Amino acid sequence: MNEASDPPMAAKDRAQNPDMQEKAQEVADMAGEKAHEAAGSAQEMLRDQLDQRSTKAGETAVGTAQDLRSVGEELRKQGKDTPARLADRAAERTDQLGSYLRESDADRMLSDVEDFGRRQPLAVLAGGLVAGIVAARFLKASSRGRYQSRRAGESTRELSATTPARARGVYPEAPDSPPRESSQQVPVPSDPVTLP
């Protein structure tokens, strides 16, 4: 029935409607708060992971810098000054990178990346382009093997379904080639047959 035909029922619905709207709003607010909390905890976990991994990468880079310094010293002992200087420069840069990674937190690294993007937008664009090309090449290379193996399986099934079975015996390969024998021989009578 509609509101016009049953006035007492319509008044009851209108009285309950604000209560239902308030409850729905409360549920929606609670869901929004929970989603916001979940997003915040996910961001915090991501920051913690980034901090841990960057610290570990920094320690690895510092170790690599020490190895490069050792290489430079060894080259100097051999009288190779130019390669030794190159190794020392590489060690210095690697050490700077390692120190940065160990000492920086996720917020500082993100801020530095944003600043670099503002100063050098073409470099960021070129980096994104290179990363996209590398990803495309990787996907293409990995899908080629799956495609070929899938096609090989399909072609084997198609051949077995569409190739008619041949009777066993002797068949010529081509009109001017000698006949070849199949895997199973057809018995040939031992008596010569003469035609009248």
In sequence order, the 6+-apart residues with CB closer than 8 A to the CB of 182 are 168, 169, 170, 171
Q: Long-range CB contacts (< 8 A, 24+ apart) of 30-37?
A: none
| Helix (H) or strand (E) segment spanning residue 172 | strand 170-172
Does pTM surpass 0.85?
A: no
Each residue's pLDDT tens digit, 59-77: 898 999 999 899 898 888 8
Per the CB < 8 A criterion, the answer to whether 186 and 170 are in contact is yes
pLDDT at 119: 92
In the numeric block, which tokens belong to residue 77? Answer: 């002992």
pLDDT at 130: 93
Does the pLDDT of residue 122 top 50, yes or no? yes
For 185, what's the count of Cα atoms within 13 Å in the CB-facing half-sphere? Answer: 3
Amino acid letter at 28? Answer: A
Map out the domains of the chain as residue ranges.
11-116, 120-150
Each residue's pLDDT tens digit, 26-48: 888 888 888 878 877 888 888 88
